[in-house]
Amino acid sequence: MLSECFGDPRARTVAGWKAVGGYEGIARALEIGREATIDDVKASGLRGRGGAGFPTGLKWSFMPKNSARPHYLLCNADESEPGTFKDREIIRWTPHQLIEGCLVGSYAIGASHCYIYLRGEFFESTNVLARALEEAYAEGLVGKDILGSGVDIDITLHVGAGAYICGEETGLMNSLEGRRGEPRIKPPFPAAVGAFGMPSTINNVETLAAAAHIARHGGEWYRQWGTEKSPGTKLFCVSGHVNKPGNYEFPLGFPLMELIEDVCGGIPGGHALKAVIPGGSSVPIMDAGDCRACTLCYEGVEAAGSMLGCASVIVMDETSDIVKQVRRMAHFYAHESCGQCTPCREGTTWATRILQRIEDGRGTEDDLDTLVEISEQMTGTTICVLSDSLAMPIISSIEKFREDYLALIRRGERVGAA
């Protein structure tokens, strides 16, 4: 569904997108009305694809009704979770899929303006989306009186400047407003006080793309895929040690091992699986045992001890150096911490230093306890979840791959090369 036109340059144009049923979703939404569109998305059970998995229809229904203040839809295209590369594919292959999703979302929440916050690094994909948006304006699909309905919806592209934290919804709002991208304390929630102080809803690119299809076909249609708690399809971004990495769209609930072994052609060189990070770098690491029975849906990955996040499956084979990779992740979070909250600002840096010390063969066994202790203090103590996002891989890696750490600490032996 979402990925049907990936790889087909014809689908980039308005004509090409209409040829595969594009813009029928917004047409139907305009016909059935706001409430019915939200009801459809609620009925579909669509959950936010940015990582948190919050029900989209419910989020939309939080927006105030009959308010005279401007409402904003913000599309989060600041894709920067390590391991995630699905939104860029949607944008560069099917820009109109996103534009249509933005129209549906804006209409449903009563927003006359939608800002798409794009990652600054996405020059090429931004150009594709910009051309598509110009085309959509010229065709009367965006702007004043869209499709002759009397509804006005403007879409504006806003380009960021390189900060992971701007993918956090309130950090994104601050950045859009021309401030440092520091997350805001909630409440107030964005539906009450969001961008420019106005009621706002933030959705991920993939969420809005899916909403365009739901608007076209109805909520029940979407439930033909997936599980009761995780309906629909999802783009799985597979990276790391597999023969055929890439984006694969499957119904939620797809077995993890089947994805790795059958779809992605297994692990190169006949190596054995060591670990999988199933949802982007911010979730607990799973060992090979956890992976065996894991199904890729929100509840399935949770049962296996981790989180689906944005379904970015990072595969690590037996040659992987877990300590090095966790240290690399810690370095990333230390670099990207906005510095507002002490546990995060200090914790991410301490953790990086300690992990570096262990990697260099100068660590002690006490360091592992210290790491766990710091990580625990980084959990649930800050404005946003950036520090939790590092705490989880640290704690889970020490729990599951303690031997790797100990080999370095006791004998100076590095396990794995990559």
Partner 1 sequence: MSEVRFRNPGWAGNTGEFDLSEADVRGTEYVGERALDGGHPSVAPSLPYMFVQKDPEAPLFEGPYRERFEKIRGRYPTARAALLPALNLAQELRGHISPETMDEVAGLLGLSDAYVRGVATFYTMYNKRPVGRFLIQVCTNISCNLCGADDVLAAFLEHTGTELGETSSDGNFTVAEAECLAACGFPTCVQINSRYFEDVSVDDVPAVLDRLKREVNQGF
**Site residues for partner 1, window 322-361 (CB under 8 A)?**
324-325, 328-329, 332, 335-336, 338
* Options 17, 60, 122, 405; binder of partner 1; rule CB under 8 A: 122
Tell me the residue type at 253. Answer: G
Site for partner 1 in 72-101 (CB under 8 A): 79-85, 87-89, 92-93
Q: How many CB atoms lie within 10 A of CB 380?
A: 11
Q: How far is the CB of 57 from partner 1 (least distance, A)?
A: 25
Place of tokens 């301490």: 350
Sequence-distant (≥ 6) Cβ neighbours of residue 313 within 8 angstroms: 83, 236, 237, 238, 239, 240, 256, 259, 260, 276, 277, 278, 296
Site for partner 1 in 195-214 (CB under 8 A): 196
> For partner 1, which stretch binds (CB under 8 A), given 59-67, 212-220, 320-328, 381-389?
320-328
CA gap 409, 415 in Å, rounded: 11
**Using rule CB under 8 A, residue 121 touches partner 1:** yes
**Using rule CB under 8 A, residue 139 touches partner 1:** no
Choose among 86, 71, 77: nearest CA to 159.
77
Residue 263-302 contact track with partner 1, rule CB under 8 A, x = bound: -x------------x---x---------------------
Q: How far is the CB of 162 from partner 1 (least distance, A)?
A: 3
Site for partner 1 in 29-48 (CB under 8 A): none
Q: How many CB atoms lie within 10 A of CB 103?
A: 31
**Using rule CB under 8 A, residue 156 touches partner 1:** yes
3 state SS of 47: strand
Sequence-distant (≥ 6) Cβ neighbours of residue 150 within 8 angstroms: none
Q: How far is the CB of 54 from partner 1 (least distance, A)?
A: 22
Binding footprint of partner 1, residue count (CB under 8 A): 84
- For residue 367, what are the β-bridge partners? none
Choose among 174, 139, 134: nearest CA to 155.
134
> For partner 1, which stretch binds (CB under 8 A), given 19-27, 31-39, 122-130, 296-304?
122-130
Site for partner 1 in 227-246 (CB under 8 A): 235, 237-241, 244-246
Dihedral sign computed on CA atoms, order 279, 282, 287, 290: negative
The tokens for 7 are 């790889």
Q: Which is nearer to partner 1, 5 or 297 (CB)?
A: 5
Give Cα 165 to chain centroid, integer Å: 13
Site for partner 1 in 164-183 (CB under 8 A): 164, 175-181
Q: Which is nearer to partner 1, 41 or 314 (CB)?
A: 314
